[in-house]
Chains A and B, each alone.
Chain A
């Protein structure tokens, strides 16, 4: 197990967002967290990355308990989140965004190498590397966001709704990229509302509803079970 999330409870002030969420991710997998709007998917990711701290429960990564660690310590260990809505640094160029992604010392050393790989993966970005990130299209921004995540040498790459607000053709490209990255050995945790692509790509799937685990299964099971799909995924 690379990541083990055990029974976490998270609240925003008085509002209890997660009631005992548990799941795990094995090395090399693509795991998808699915659920409707407001189910608690983003909250879960934020807790794993350290933006939120759980009131109960624990999180371990690579055998180490990271439950109370500050964000930068988790990033050091390779827990990387690509946030919802892209969230690029608007006034930095594409290149500067990528550089920002490799801020930490050990990442800086591999910076040139990683940048070459990113530009190879996303040739469109290479052309526009000096362009301000805020001026890019949604699809381009998503590419930069993912590339930026890769610059941090992730062991676990967490993607929060990468397909949000993007045209289907672009989304196809994104999912291809995700599979590409997975093949290169990066473990992926995917949070998505777009069910059909996730079903295609994920090795295992968890469905979250109202802050709780609703159901889980392998990608295979979910893909072949139309009933499951209807009940939990509204297909």
Chain B
């Protein structure tokens, strides 16, 4: 019984981190139909940043978030401005092929660059949080995971609030629903796209910081998380922040229970199978009717 709850808690907490990673992709896909195939590798980049930062300066992982988050924000802004906007702005199709190719190219560049620079060995860092856990009723709740979950929750809540109440957040929602008309309201879609992407990248930065006491990073981290992330986005529905949270938790739970009932490999297969099912049956996500 205790094992069941252990798996439950574990899956839930991990799900929070996954959600953090997926929010950016969901925004990007929702606001500008831009599916970033490099999302996983960008997470890898953020994780490397966080880990090296902590290794080099010894700061606390939570502090690293304050550095890596904003750095990723700026990177995301300019990646959108110079690399992606030119492809999206004047494109005739809703989802130009050039975006797929460019982001797939980015993914290729990042993972290979990482392999070249860091070899395929994994890097990790020991922090004041690593390995710590809270003991409740004979269950071990990993401290860093708990903190990560709380932060991720706060982050997704904050972004959702931003989208609902803030001027620019509303503008993002309007743009995602009808980008031509949004322009007629005076919304500068080039700027809005940069904002959306920047927020997404910043979330990756935060996720990197949160993950640094928990995970090791290697060039294949991108691939591992990449597919998880897009499963979450499809499950949760593009553009939906609560959806990303829900999707993240579902995937986290499936992996946790799958791993404990069968093996982690089976768990992966189940995740993919769920992905395929959702893709064909409910491509707009489990929460289909609810948007932004």
Contact = CB atoms under 8 A, between A and B. Distances in A.
Interface of A: 49-51, 70-72, 75-76, 80-81, 83, 87-92, 96, 99-101, 103-104, 107-108, 148, 152
Given A91-B292, A99-B170, A100-B174, A72 B187 contact: yes
A87 B188 CA distance: 18
A141 to B, nearest CB: 12
Contacts of A70: 188
Contact of A83 (B174, B177, B181, B186): B181
A96 B173 CA distance: 10
Contact of A75 (B173, B174, B186, B292): B186
B183 to A, nearest CB: 4
Nearest to B186: A75
Nearest to B292: A91
A83 B174 CA distance: 15
Interface string B279-292: 00000000000011
Given A89-B174, A91-B292, A100-B170, A51 B180 contact: yes
B184 A71 contact: yes
A100 B184 CA distance: 10
A83 B184 CA distance: 9
Contacts of B188: 70, 72
Contacts of B182: 89, 100
A91 B291 CA distance: 7
Contacts of A90: 177-178
Contacts of B25: none
Interface of B: 167, 170-171, 173-174, 177-178, 180-188, 291-292
18 contacts: A49-B184, A50-B183, A70-B188, A71-B184, A72-B188, A89-B181, A89-B182, A90-B178, A91-B292, A92-B174, A100-B174, A100-B182, A101-B185, A103-B167, A103-B170, A103-B171, A103-B174, A108-B167
Contacts of B181: 83, 87-89
A76 B185 CA distance: 9
Given A91-B292, A92-B174, A104 B180 contact: no
Contacts of A99: 170
Given A89-B181, A104-B186, 6 more contacts: A72-B188, A89-B182, A96-B170, A100-B182, A100-B185, A103-B186
Contact of A76 (B170, B173, B174, B186): B186
Contacts of A81: 184
A25 to B, nearest CB: 18
Nearest to A90: B177
Chain A CB within 10 Å — which of B183, B186, B188, B292 has the most? B186
Contacts of A107: 186
